[in-house]
Amino acid sequence: MKRSRMKGKIEETEEMAKKAAKVSGSMFHRLGVWLHERKADKELIEHVVETVDPKIRLARGYGKQLQGPIQVCLDHCKTIVENIPGPIHLNKSNFDADPLIHAAFIGAVSLKDLLAKEERSIGEVIPEGAERYALLTMVHRESIIFGPKIQGEMIMRDAQMKSVTFSEHKIAGLSTSLESTKLQLEQLCFQLILEAISTELATRRTSLGELRKHIERLHAMSHLLSNGNQDKNAFGHTSPVDFEKLKEVEEALKSSEDEFAKASGGQDKPEDWLKILVDHLTTPEKSMDIQRFSMRLDWMNVLTDASDDKANELTLAQCRFPGDDSRDATFIAY
């Protein structure tokens, strides 16, 4: 549930980024200015609080406490974007000429169609002949296959190998300059981190709410069972106490109350929520991080250690999100 919710947030925030390109006076435009100037001013602080949880404003001195952590998070977003490889300069007449593009789009949607769709969606006319920059993201999966494999001087008929497929291709940050594309992506990274923190807070509160209701039900059961010998039924007879059942309920109640006290410690006041926000902003890698990786693929998209010219080494950046969600990324230019 949490993973699908985060995936939905990612897609929703990507849509927000597209809208930002159309409206220069939007919050995303101002966020771009903040990122460019590397300054966490009052308006940015209010945007952070409004996105994560407006109730944090009830905590005294929240603005001053958030300035430093927001700066740490902004710097982290810049580092993420700077670690993305590329741009890969594509041949307009044959995008598949690049080994990475060829491998990424085997049996998938055409990159040319994907870019054309993105250009239409941003609602901005790009001058004819202007060079374009964008981020290409996708998901790669490995699967076991069996087939012939050359090993030394031998040919193995049913060798076990790993095949790589790419799917869920997306384009983001389309622009006529690499600097503008990177700035858009810094905005997107920052917003995704805020959404992840907001989701984390909401999840914690939901869990506490469910636990509180469970305790209330146990209290009611305990009351009914402990008063069983005092209450008369419709025929005037008293009901004996079920001591065994009462013991089970009281043990469950104590365990649940201990769990609630432990879970709610430092999470039920605006000051506590502010502390959680500060902690997440100063350790933004918990919400979003990136790591470069390389894979060597042959012409069938099979992982190989071969060093000959028949295999290509592809380098991508893997962006990781909470819930084990991740996407591979590279910059492209065409």
Q: Is 323 left (phi over 0), alpha (psi -120 to 50) or beta?
A: left
- The DSSP line for 135-197 is EEEEEEEEEEEEEEEEETTEEEEEEEEEEEEEEEEEEEEEESSHHHHHHHHHHHHHHHHHHHH
Alpha-carbon gap, residue 215 to 256, rounded angstroms: 6
**Closest by Cα among 287, 318, 313 to 189:** 287
Alpha-carbon gap, residue 113 to 118, rounded angstroms: 9
Q: CB of 170 within 8 A of CB of 115?
A: no
Alpha-carbon gap, residue 111 to 14, rounded angstroms: 19
**Closest by Cα among 78, 56, 308 to 193:** 78
Alpha-carbon gap, residue 274 to 276, rounded angstroms: 5
Alpha-carbon gap, residue 209 to 183, rounded angstroms: 39
Residue 132: what pLDDT?
A: 95
Residue 175: what pLDDT?
A: 94
Q: Which helix (H) or strand (E) holds 296?
A: strand 289-297
Cα dist from 301 to 144, 152, 292, 312, 316, whole Å:
12, 20, 19, 9, 15
Which alpha helices (H) appear in the chain, and where do they start and end?
Answer: 2-22, 27-37, 42-52, 62-82, 99-104, 111-121, 178-226, 243-264, 270-282
Q: Give pLDDT tens digits for 29-44.
A: 556 655 555 555 889 9
Phi first, then psi: give them for residue 42, nearest 5 degrees: -60, -40
**Closest by Cα among 290, 285, 289 to 85:** 290
Contacts of 42 (CB under 8 A, 6+ apart): 63
pLDDT tens digits in sequence order for the chain, 334 residues long:
545 555 555 555 555 444 444 433 455 555 665 555 555 588 999 999 999 999 999 999 999 999 999 999 999 999 999 999 999 999 988 888 899 999 999 876 889 999 999 998 887 778 888 999 999 999 999 999 888 877 667 777 888 899 999 999 999 999 999 999 999 999 999 999 999 999 988 888 776 667 677 777 877 777 776 765 455 454 444 455 567 777 777 777 777 777 666 666 655 789 999 999 999 999 999 999 999 999 999 988 999 987 766 789 999 999 998 777 899 999 999 9
